[in-house]
């Protein structure tokens, strides 16, 4: 089997999906804008061929170049796991007449207003929302929705360029902040806890499911630099309070016509126990979420996704052994990391439960915390008991501190 995989080198986790594809026995034809000489040796060994394009986001140009590059060679699949490229992958599938989700179907996972309309049409609870192409439309939509409300990009990923507005002054600040965004959504603010519902599906039916809790909600975590965001996968997905979200998620997959592969959905659990749809992508969650799921069940979802996408089989274990927490740290100060405090004592207390320590070390330049949840590195922990996993995760959030300066 020959598979075209878009952007095999970037974001960095795409290299793991490339490995997964090669390990299930396919020839991987990578397409990206990274120079061939810059590809890591560990990635190159999994590529049968590679095409560098000038701009991976220029869909028409990429389609023309890929078509010329592959002339005379058989292609069986075109795949992408990076949010900005899922439409391009669908367009290439249609160009070559290959199996997989159509452009129309994928647009339902990419355009947040269309997404909500299709989910609502299936009788499922979604936030009240409007699609806005101008400031005038945005203000009109805000009047219809009422405060508090959310302003966010129609086709964004994560909570980038997303703002909660409690009054007119905050709305005006949000309008100024999103002027660079062409199309935005104005929607009802849903109070409650926020969770993920992640799946690997075959014909829209999950063969693997995951729920993770955001602590705090992403919008809160992105608003205050001092917060160390925590995400914990839930070992016990049979607990009654989570069943409405699981039922909602499965119905959303049917409503949107999901085919084979990863999905990453976010949903809200209100104080009354109602599950409310947030949004969904037909790709894996970012920010190391797939690594968390792997640690939760001791499996390799990079490989199992590839097996599903190519052979429509899932062979990994589905038993959940641990609650796995990731804690993203943000240094105090600007510039390069100068020191870390509390880590040695933390490891003395909890080291047996720590599965990854990827905190930035002294000398490393800080990341812009507003641009990436990854921030200045993370600790990953796991424990079979939820209360212990929660306690150990939040100890990392409160007791370990990175400092930057210079």
Backbone angles phi, psi at 180, to 5 degrees: -80, -10
- Range in 164-168, 196-200, 285-289 with the lowest mean pLDDT: 164-168
The pLDDT confidence band at residue 28, using thresholds 50, 70 and 90, is very high
Structure tokens at 264: 């990453």
Task: Say whether pLDDT at 323 is over 80.
Answer: yes
CA nearest to 186, candidates 221, 134, 110, 223: 134
Reduce the DSSP state of residue 117 to 3 states and report it. Answer: helix
Q: Enter the DSSP assignment of 74.
A: -
Can you tell me which residue has the tokens 């590195």? Answer: 377
Task: Say whether pLDDT at 160 is over 80.
Answer: no
Task: Say whether pLDDT at 155 is over 80.
Answer: no
Task: Say whether pLDDT at 156 is over 70.
Answer: no
- 337 versus 172: the higher-pLDDT residue is 337
pLDDT average, residue stretch 132-145: 90
Instruction: Answer for the pair 167, 147: CB distance below 8 angstroms, yes or no.
Output: yes
Could you report the per-residue pLDDT of 246-297, keeping only the tens digit for each? 999 999 999 999 999 999 999 999 999 999 999 999 999 999 999 999 999 9
**Cβ-based neighbour number of residue 46 at 10 Å:** 21
Sign, CA torsion 86/88/89/91: positive
Peptide bond into 216 cis (omega under 30): yes
CA nearest to 212, candidates 162, 253, 264: 264
Q: Cα 145 to chain center, whole Å?
A: 27
Full-model pTM: 0.92
Instruction: Answer for the pair 270, 191: CB distance below 8 angstroms, yes or no.
Output: yes
Reduce the DSSP state of residue 240 to 3 states and report it. Answer: helix
Give residue 179's pLDDT. Answer: 87
CA nearest to 227, candidates 243, 239, 214, 216: 216
**Cβ-based neighbour number of residue 327 at 10 Å:** 25
Give residue 371's pLDDT. Answer: 86
The pLDDT confidence band at residue 159, using thresholds 50, 70 and 90, is low
CA distance 358 to 364: 12
Backbone angles phi, psi at 355, to 5 degrees: -105, -20
The pLDDT confidence band at residue 339, using thresholds 50, 70 and 90, is very high
Helix 243-256 and helix 112-121, axial crossing angle in degrees, nearest 10: 100
CA distance 380 to 339: 20
Residues with Cβ within 8 Å of residue 41, at least 6 apart in sequence? none
The chain-wide mean pLDDT, for the chain, equals: 95
The pLDDT confidence band at residue 219, using thresholds 50, 70 and 90, is confident
Give residue 157's pLDDT. Answer: 60
pLDDT average, residue stretch 84-88: 98
- 293 versus 133: the higher-pLDDT residue is 293
Could you report the per-residue pLDDT of 101-132, keeping only the tens digit for each? 999 999 999 998 899 999 999 999 999 888 89
CA distance 147 to 22: 50
Give residue 158's pLDDT. Answer: 55
């Amino acid at each position: 089997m020959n598979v075209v995989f878009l952007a095999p080198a970037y974001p960095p986790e795409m290299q793991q999906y490339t490995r997964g594809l090669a390990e299930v026995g396919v020839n991987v034809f990578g397409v990206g804008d990274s120079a061939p000489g810059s590809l890591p040796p560990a990635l190159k060994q999994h590529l049968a061929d590679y095409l560098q394009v000038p701009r991976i986001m220029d869909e028409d140009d990429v389609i023309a170049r890929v078509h010329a590059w592959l002339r005379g060679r058989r292609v069986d699949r075109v795949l992408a796991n990076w949010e900005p490229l899922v439409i391009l992958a669908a367009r290439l599938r249609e160009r070559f007449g290959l199996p997989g989700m159509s452009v129309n179907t994928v647009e339902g996972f990419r355009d947040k207003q269309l997404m909500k309309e299709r989910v609502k049409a299936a009788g499922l609870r979604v936030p009240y929302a409007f699609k806005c192409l101008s400031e005038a439309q945005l203000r009109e939509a805000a009047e219809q929705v009422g405060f508090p409300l959310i302003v966010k990009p129609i086709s964004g990923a994560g909570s980038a360029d997303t703002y909660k507005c409690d009054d007119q002054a905050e709305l005006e600040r949000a309008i100024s902040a999103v002027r660079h965004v062409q199309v935005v959504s104005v929607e009802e603010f849903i109070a409650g806890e926020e969770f993920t519902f992640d799946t690997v599906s075959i014909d829209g039916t999950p063969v693997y499911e995951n729920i993770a809790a955001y602590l705090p909600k992403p919008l809160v975590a992105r608003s205050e630099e001092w917060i160390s965001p925590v995400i914990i996968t839930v070992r016990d997905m049979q607990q009654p309070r989570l069943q409405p979200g699981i039922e909602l998620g499965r119905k959303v997959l049917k409503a949107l016509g999901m085919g084979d592969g990863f999905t990453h959905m976010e949903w809200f659990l209100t104080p009354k126990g109602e599950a409310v749809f947030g949004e969904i992508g037909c790709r894996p969650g970012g920010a190391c979420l797939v690594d968390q799921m792997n640690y939760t069940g001791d499996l390799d979802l990079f490989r199992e996704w590839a097996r599903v996408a190519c052979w429509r089989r899932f062979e990994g274990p589905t038993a959940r052994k641990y609650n796995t927490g990731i804690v993203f740290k943000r240094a105090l100060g600007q510039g390069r990391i100068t020191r870390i405090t509390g880590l040695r004592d933390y490891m003395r207390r909890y080291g047996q439960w720590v599965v990854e320590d990827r905190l930035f070390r002294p000398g490393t330049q800080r990341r812009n915390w507003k641009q990436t949840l990854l921030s200045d590195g993370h600790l990953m922990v796991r424990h079979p008991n939820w209360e212990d996993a929660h306690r150990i995760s939040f100890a990392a959030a409160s007791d370990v501190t990175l400092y930057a300066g210079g």
